[in-house]
Amino acid sequence: MKRILIIRLGAMGDVAMTVPVVSALREAYPDVRITILTTPFFQAFFRHIPDIELVPFDKKGKHKGVTGLLRLWRNIGKQYKVDAVADFHDVLRTKTVRTLFRLSGKRVAVIDKGRAEKKALTTFIDKVMRPLESTIERYADVLGQIGYPVSLPAAAERTVHPVPAAITERAGIKTGKWVGIAPFAQHKGKVYPVERMEAAVKGLSKNENVRLFIFGGGPKEQAVADEWAANYPNTFSAVGKMGLSEELDLISNLDCMVSMDSAAMHMASLYGVPVVSIWGATHPYAGFMGWGQSVELAVQTDHPCRPCSVFGNTPCIHGDYRCLSYISPESIEDKVLQVIGK
């Protein structure tokens, strides 16, 4: 029986995008053993895929540095007896691990991130505006290189899981339409101005048939989410209230998600939830649109300097991120109402 090792360590949205590819691999090759090396926190993404084994990567502990990576390689080789390695990440750590497997005679393939194409898309001079291959398709290409081609469905089937108790205690059982709001992202070039997003939340909260759920990350985001929940009717904060598995269960019950170019878009996509995505310095053409999501629901401006970044981490040449500030809260509300029905 053959065994494949898939490596994808982070970030959250990138790991979420591996799920449809791993699911397609599992379905196409039921007799192949699948082992995934990833960050422990992200293992919840794979909980519904049968017969896979997860190896937690401990970057600050036993897998730290070259010695730790050697230990990781030996342990995986000894315990899992892998035949082929698919590197979905291509960073220094994963290069080291895959090279060790290659030198030991294993078949190895690595993602082509399309760096030259993305540079042409984000340059200010002679910009080439065309849609690039999606990251999910690039993951699938890696599997084809090691001899396991897969066919991806156009989108995930609509899937709903039980609502977490932490939500039903405050919001009750589901009635009407549930809308997620994920207003945060790691880089400033992806974040819609908080006061404008608050205006959109205020407008949407006036719909009696709608319940809003705010998603986010750390204490700073939680403070914003809790404030909105206190100030606006039909609005609830999900930040800091549950673990990742429960958060995914809640997302599966949404009728629409409002998200930046961030992990929330990809998490919603796993359950077939339509996403109103907001784009600033980045662009859907770079290949990070949510799986099965419609570009018609993407809210963005046609500012001539867009996109200027693949990840949203490039400082704005104007200093004001006008690509985001030019988007009106009403345009976001309209898209949401288009999805859930007025």
User: Each residue of 212-261: pLDDT tens digit?
Assistant: 999 998 899 999 999 999 999 999 999 999 999 999 999 999 999 999 99
C-alpha distance across the termini of the chain, in Å:
53
How many Å apart are CA 189 and CA 177, to the nearest integer? 30
Q: With bands split at pLDDT 50, 70 and 90, how would you rate the model's confidence at 332?
A: very high
Q: Say yes or no to pLDDT of 1 above 80.
A: no
Domain boundary among 111, 145, 179: 145
Residues 184 and 297 in one domain: yes
110 and 251 co-located in one domain: no
Same domain, yes or no, for 279 and 189? yes
What's the average model confidence in pLDDT over 317-340?
A: 96
pLDDT above 70: residue 37 = yes
The reply to whether 157 falls in a domain is no
Same domain, 140 and 171: no
- Please enumerate in sequence order all residues whose Cβ is within 8 A of that of 48, keeping only pairs 6 or more positions apart, or say none: none
Is residue 116 within 8 A of residue 35, CB to CB? The reply is no
| Same domain, yes or no: 232 and 84 | no
Same domain, 65 and 195: no
Percent of the chain clearing pLDDT 70 (strictly above): 100
Q: What is the pLDDT of residue 70?
A: 97
> Which tens digit of pLDDT belongs to each residue from 166-195?
999 989 899 999 999 999 999 999 999 999
Given 83, 117, 145, which residue is the final one in a domain?
145
Q: Which of 145, 177, 198 is at the close of a domain? A: 145
Residues 141 and 204 in one domain: no
134 and 10 part of one domain: yes
Mean of pLDDT values over 257-283: 98
Confirm whether 176 is domain-assigned: yes
| Dihedral angle of Cα 112, 117, 119, 121, to the nearest 10 degrees | -140
Q: What's the mean per-residue pLDDT of the chain?
A: 96
| Structural domain includes residue 25 | yes
| Residue located via tokens 């549930």 | 178
Spatial contact of 186 and 280, defined as CB atoms under 8 Å apart: no
Are 121 and 222 in the same domain?
A: no
Residue 216 lies in a domain: yes
pLDDT (average), residues 319-339: 96
pLDDT at position 82, please? 95
**159 lies in some domain:** no
What mean pLDDT comes out for the span 127-139? 97
Q: Residues near 150 by Cβ (< 8 Å), separated by ≥ 6?
A: 21, 24, 25, 28, 140, 143, 144
Count of domains forming the chain = 2
* Residues 312-331, mean pLDDT to the nearest whole number: 95
At 196, which CATH number? 3.40.50.2000
Domain range enclosing 173: 165-340
pLDDT band at 342 (very low <50, low <70, confident <90, very high): low
Would you state the pLDDT for residue 217?
82
What percent of the chain lies above the pLDDT cut of 90?
A: 96
Query: What's the pLDDT band for 158 if we cut at 50, 70, 90?
Result: very high
Distance CA 337, CA 342 (A): 5
pLDDT at 131: 97
Residue reference for tokens 């730790």: 68
Same domain, 125 and 224: no
Q: Is residue 151 part of a domain?
A: no
Predicted TM-score (pTM) of this structure: 0.96
Q: Are residues 213 and 335 in the same domain?
A: yes
Residue 280 sits in the same domain as residue 192: yes
